[in-house]
Amino acid sequence: MRMKLHLPTFFKACNPAKTLVVGNPEDRQYYIDFSAVRGGKIIEAIERTITRLSPDEPTCQLFTGHIGCGKSTELLRLKTLLEEQQFHVVYFESSRDLDMHDVDISDILLSIARSVSESLEDIGIRLQPQYFTQVFNDIKDFMQTPVELSAEAELSIGIGKITAKTKDSPQLRDQLRQHLEPRTKSILHAINEEILERGIKELKRRGKKGLVVIIDNLDRVDPRPMSTGRSQSEYLFIDRGSQLR
């Protein structure tokens, strides 16, 4: 008996703008494994590096490809694989916080800090990084945005207030960058020591094997030329690449 075609469902399944979430049974039926023409099982290799080769040591892995080739679907599949092995996975689209036409290192670091802290707060892990308390106090005057980090306050909300205000204001964004640029090393230290390490410690206390952060959509950074003659992509991923590892 031939199944009747339901056109709305068919068109929805073929929508190239929709990312398949393989962890969702409804989406899983539409997933096609293209590893044979992609040079191997890349996601499985990344997952193996995290879970077997370096479960207790930090790793930084790059997964790239042309826009629209299915990277987000594969990254969400990686998220599912890692969660099945009891890792806490923070997946976020960088374009949520960033103006992809105008991105700097400090913007990406704040986005990471916000997304990780938000994910941990959702499961009841509230961190109080002392360094970010100091940063918020320093910038609240020129930002004209009161940001308080009391014992009950959530770090993600504080960072969210800042990124929301700067995303739509190039002038404020430049002011914030000028303030944060000389503090990049300290911000990296605070993210690693006060957010990631503390978060991992608490997650393991709860029975998780570790923490994995997946950042999507950085390939959408506009490769516009900068005043230095380099493209924005070259500046971020080559000139400043060591600070993204």
**pLDDT score of 117 more than 70:** yes
pLDDT digits over 83-113, tens only?
999 999 999 999 988 999 999 999 999 999 9
**pLDDT score of 152 more than 60:** no
Cβ–Cβ < 8 Å for 89, 214: yes
Q: What is the pTM of this model?
A: 0.87
DSSP 8-state class, residue 89: E
pLDDT of residue 142: 67
Report which of 215, 216, 212, 183 is spatially closest to residue 106, judged by C-alpha positions. Answer: 183
DSSP 8-state class, residue 241: G
For residue 90, the one-letter residue type is: V
Q: In the predicted model, what is the mean pLDDT of residues 160-172?
A: 82
Scan for tokens 């300290």, then name that residue: 186
| Pairwise CA distance, residues 155 & 171, whole Å | 24
**pLDDT score of 151 more than 50:** no
Confidence of residue 225 (pLDDT cuts 50, 70, 90): very high
DSSP 189-202: HHIIIIIIIHHHHH
Q: In the predicted model, what is the mean pLDDT of residues 46-56?
A: 93
